[in-house]
Amino acid sequence: MAATRDSALTRAFDNDWIGPGLVSLIAVVAISLAQPAFLSPFNIFVLMSAISVNMVIALGQLVIIGLGQMNLALGSIGGLVAISFVGVIERYGIPVPLALAFALGIGIAAGMSGGYIIARTMISAFIITLAGLQIFKGINLGITEAQPFYGVPEAVKAFGQASVIGPLPWLMVPMMICSVAMWYLFNRMRIGRHILAMGSNPHAAELSGIDANATIIWAHGISGLLAAIAGLMLVARLQIGQPTIGDDWLISSFAAPVIGGAVLTGGRVSVAGTFFGVVIIAIITQGLVMFNIDPFVVQIVLGALILWAVAVNRLREMRIARVQARGAGA
Amino acid sequence: MAHAGADNPIPPGSAPRRMSSGMRLLLGNEFGLAVLILLTVAVFALTLDGFTSPFSIYTIGRQIGIDTMIGLAMMAVIVTGGLDLSVGAIGVCSAMLFGWLMQVMGVPVPVAVPVAVLFGASLGFVNGFTVVMSGVHSFIITLASMSIFFGVMIFLTRAAAFNGLPPQVQAFGKMRVLPGISPLLLIAVAVCAALVVFYRYSTLGRQMLAAGANARAAELSGIRTGRVIVACHMLTGLLAAIAGLMVTARTGAAVPSMAGQLGQDWLLPAFLAPVLGGTLLSGGRVSVIGTLLGATFINIMTSGLLLMRVGEFWILAFLGVMLLIAVLADRTRQVFLTSRGMI
C-alpha cells in the first residue's frame, strides 16, 4: 500500500509540469474568486498576450539551459531584431514578408555567431553572451540613437491587437507553434536529444559520437531565432519599434524554465513546465496590478520565485534520488 | 596558492608555474596591458586635441577609479570560480541607503559611509550564505538576489533620488587632490594596494585563492571552503558598496537608476576590467593591478573614441567587442604557452 502510494507520488513529483500546473490552477481560482474581473474577456486577452510573448522568450532560454549553458544576449538579440524589422520597413520601404525573413535571419545569425565562438574556443557561454549582449545592444542604440521607429505596418499592428476567437489573441498562434516545435525538437528530433545529452554529460556525449560543436552552434541558433520571434511579437503588441525591447527579459527568461523544473546544469527541460512557469509569473504580475499592489513588488516576487523554484527542484531531486536508492536496495 | 602537479593534465586556465619571473612578467597580462596603455595614450595625445587637457585627464582618472572598484568587486568573487550578477544592485542599494541616512535621518557623513559599506558587505553575505547553503551555482542565486535587492530598493525609495546630500559629498566628487587627480582615483589605488597585500600575505586572502583554484584540495588541507566563499561574497558586496558611494560622490546625488535597470549596466565593466587584467574566470587567480590597468585601458579607449566623435552608443558595442577580444587573446596565450610547455 505504502509502496504504491509512494511510487504514484514519485511519478507525480517526477513529472516536471504537474507542480507548476497545479499552482497555476490554484492561483487562477483564488484570484478570480477574490476579484471576478480577473476572468473578464479583456483581462484574459491581456494576460494571454503577455503569456504568449513570455513563453517564446522562455523557450529561447530553455534551449540553452538544456545545453547546460546560459544566454545573456537573448534580450539584446530580440531588441536588435525588433528595431531592424521596423527600421528596414520605415527607412527602405521593404515589404513585410521580406523584412520578416531579414529580421529572423538576424536573430539566427546573432545566435549562431555566439554559439560558434563558444563551440570553437570553449570559453564560458556566460562571458561570450555577455559580450554579445553589449555588442547587440550597442548596435541597436547606435542605429536608433535610443529613439523608437514608428513605421510599423498596419497588418503587423492588427496582428498584435486582433483575437482569434473571443479573448484569445492571435499572438497565441506563434507561441503555440514554437511550443509544439520545441517539444517535438526535444522529444523526437536528433538535435534535441543531442542538446540534452551535451547538457547532462558533455564528455559522454562527445564519446558517443555527438558533434559537440554543431550541437552548440545549432542550439544557439535556435535560441536566437526564438529571441527574434519574441522581439517581432513585441513589435506587434507594442505597435512600435522600441529600442528598449529585450531589456527586461533576463530575469523572467530564467525564472519560467526554472519554475518549470529545468535543471540549470543542463540535460533536463520541460516545455509544458516552462509554459506553466510563464503562466504563474503572468498571473502573479497581473494579480499584483489587480489588487493595486505596488508594481515595483513584481521585481521582488520574481526573484523570490526563482529561489523558491530552485529550492523545490533541489528537494525533488533529493527525493527522487532517495526513492531510487530505496528501490535499488529492496 | 594552487598546487599544480607537474604530471597532471593542465586544467584550462591554470596559472603559469615553471617560468622565470622575468618571462612571466613579459607574458603576463599586466605587462602587455601597460605597454598597450602607453601606446594608446601616446597615439591619442599626439592625434587628438583636448585629450591631454587637465579636465580630460581629471574626468578620465575619476572614471578609472570607479570602474576599477566595480571590477575589483567582481574579481573578489570570480576568485572562487563563481560570479555575482548583483554587484550593480548592491552598489545602488548601498548608495541609496547612504543617501537616505544623510538626507532623511541627518546622519553625518563619517558615520553614513561605514554604515553603507557594511550594508553592502551584509548583502554580499546574504548571497554567499545562500550559495553555500543551497549548493546552487552563484549565477542563479545572484540573478534572483539582484532582482530582490533592486526591487526592495525601488519599492522603498519610490524610485526617487536623494539629491539633498550634504555639500561635502559633492565637493568630494569634484575635488582635485593634485592638479588633475580626483580623490576617487586615489581611493581605488589605495584599495588596490590593500587587496594586493590581502591576497598575498593574509591567511584569508590565500585561503580564497586556494579554495578557488581547487576547492577539494583546499577542503582536504583544512580550509573551511564554505566560510571562505561567504567571505568572498562579502568582500564583493563591500567593494560594490564603495563603488556605489563613489558614483554618488561624482553625481552629487544618490540616484536609483545610476547602474541601469537592476544594476545591469555595471556587468560589463565588472567583467571587462578583471578579464583584461588576467583574472581567470575559472577561479584561483586574481590580478589586482591587472584590474586597475584594465579599467585604465577601457577608459582611455572610451574617451579617445568619444573625442573622435564616435557616438557613445557605438562605444557600448565597442566595449563588447573588447571583452570578446580580451577573452580570445587570453585563450590564445594559454594555448601558446601550453604548446611551448611553459605551463
Shortest CA distance from A136: residue in chain B: B317
Least CB-CB distance to A311: which of B12, B134, B275?
B134
Highest mean pLDDT among A122-136, A220-234, B136-150: A220-234
pLDDT at A211: 93
- Residue A125 is predicted with a pLDDT of 93
Q: Does A293 touch chain B (CB under 8 A)?
A: no
Mean pLDDT is lowest, of A167-176, A291-300, B187-196, B234-243, for: A291-300
pLDDT-derived band at A330, boundaries 50, 70, 90: very low
Closest to A238 in 3D by CA, of A135, A86, A108, A74: A86
**Rounded to two decimals, what is the model's pTM?**
0.89
CB contacts, 8 Å: A294 with chain B: 155
List pLDDT tens digits, range B71-90.
999 999 999 889 999 999 99
State yes or no: pLDDT of B10 exceeds 90: no
| pLDDT at residue B6 tops 70 | no
Average pLDDT over residues A147-153: 93
Q: Can you say how many angstroms the Cα of residue B217 is from the centroid of all Cα atoms in its chain?
A: 27
DSSP conformational letter for B8: S
What grid cell was written down for B330?
Answer: 587570453
Whole-number pLDDT of residue B310: 87
User: What residues of chain A lie within 8 A of the CB of B139, using their CB?
Assistant: 70, 126, 264
Could A307 and B331 be called an inter-chain contact, meaning their C-beta atoms sit closer than 8 Å?
Answer: no
With CA atoms as reference, the chain A residue closest to B143 would be A251
Q: Could you tell me if A74 lies within 8 Å of chain B, comparing CB atoms?
A: no
Rounded to the nearest angstrom, the minimum Cα separation between A158 and chain B is: 31
Residue B77 confidence (pLDDT): 95
By Cβ distance, the residue of B145, B261, B317 closest to A134 is B317
**pLDDT tens digit sequence for A196-209:** 999 999 899 989 99
Query: Are B291 and B199 contacting, i.e. CB atoms less than 8 angstroms apart?
Result: no
φ, ψ (nearest 5 deg) of residue A165: -140, 145
pLDDT at B2: 37
| Rounded Cα distance, B140 and A89, in Å | 39
What is the per-residue pLDDT across A84-101, written as a single tens digit (0 to 9) for each? 999 999 999 999 999 999
Nearest to A300 among B152, B314, B319 (CB): B152
Domains of chain B in start order, with CATH, are 23-339 (1.10.3470)
Task: Place B22 in a pLDDT band, splitting at 50, 70 and 90.
Answer: low
B311–A145: do the CB atoms touch at under 8 Å? Answer: yes
pLDDT for residue A41 is more than 80: yes
The reply to whether residue B327 touches residue A128, judged by beta carbons under 8 angstroms, is: yes
Query: Which of B146, B311, B321 is the closest to A135 by Cβ?
Result: B321
Residue A250 contacts B where some CB pair is shorter than 8 Å: yes
**Candidates B134, B150, B262; nearest CB to A314:** B134
Percent of chain A with pLDDT over 90: 63
Greater pLDDT, A283 or B339: A283
Mean pLDDT of B64-70: 96
Q: Which sign, positive or negative, has the C-alpha torsion B45, B47, B53, B58?
A: negative
Q: How far apart are the first and last CA of chain A?
A: 15
User: Min CA distance, A28 vs chain B (Å)?
Assistant: 24
Residues on chain B touching A301 (C-beta within 8 angstroms): 151
Inter-chain touch A306–B147, beta carbons under 8 Å: yes
Per-residue confidence (pLDDT) for residue B103, from 0 to 100: 94
Judge whether A256 is closer than 8 Å to chain B, CB to CB: no
Please report which confidence band the pLDDT of residue B112 belongs to, taking 50, 70 and 90 as the band edges: very high
Q: What is the pLDDT of residue B32?
A: 81
Chain B neighbors of A306, CB-CB under 8 A: 140, 143-144, 147
Q: Does A289 touch chain B (CB under 8 A)?
A: no
Mean pLDDT to the nearest integer, A316-329: 74
How confident is residue B15, by pLDDT bands cut at 50, 70 and 90?
very low
pLDDT digits (tens, 9 = 90+) for A220-275: 999 999 999 999 999 999 999 999 999 999 998 999 999 888 888 888 889 999 99
> For the segment A1-22, what is each residue's pLDDT rounded down to a tens digit?
444 455 555 555 556 778 888 8
Residue of B nearest to A296 (CA): B155
Residue A288 has pLDDT above 50, yes or no: yes
For the CA atoms of B293, B294, B299, B302, the dihedral, rounded to the nearest 10 degrees, stands at: 140
CA distance B312 to B87: 23
Tell me, letter by letter, the H, E, C secondary structure of chain B: CCCCCCCCCCCCCCCCCCCCHHHHHHHCHHHHHHHHHHHHHHHHHHHCCCCCCHHHHHHHHHHHHHHHHHHHHHHHHHCCCCCCCCHHHHHHHHHHHHHHHHHCCCCCHHHHHHHHHHHHHHHHHHHHHHHHHHCCCHHHHHHHHHHHHHHHHHHHHCCCCECCCCHHHHHHHHCCCCCCCCHHHHHHHHHHHHHHHHHHHCHHHHHHHHHHHCHHHHHHCCCCHHHHHHHHHHHHHHHHHHHHHHHHHHHCCECCCCCCHHHHHHHHHHHHHHHHCCCCCCCCCCCHHHHHHHHHHHHHHHHHHHHCCCCHHHHHHHHHHHHHHHHHHHHHHHHHHHHCCCC
Query: What residues of chain A, 133 to 162, have a C-beta less than 8 Å from chain B?
Result: 133-139, 141-142, 145-146
What pLDDT shows up at residue A262?
85
pLDDT > 70 fraction of chain A, expressed in percent and rounded: 94
Q: How confident is the model at residue B341 (pLDDT cuts 50, 70, 90)?
A: low
Residues of A in contact with B12 (CB under 8 A): 122
Q: What is the mean pLDDT of residues A115-135?
A: 93
R_g over Cα of chain B:
20
Position B312 pLDDT exceeds 90: no
Are A299 and B331 a contacting pair at CB < 8 A?
A: no
Give the number of beta-carbon pairs within 8 Å between A and B.
135
Enumerate the residues of chain A whose CB falls inside 8 A of the CB of residue B130.
Answer: 307
Please tell me which of the candidates A121, A138, A250 has its beta carbon nearest to residue B313.
Answer: A138
Overall average pLDDT of the B312-335 stretch = 87
* Mutation for A interface: B132, B262, B310, B313, most A CBs within 10 A: B313
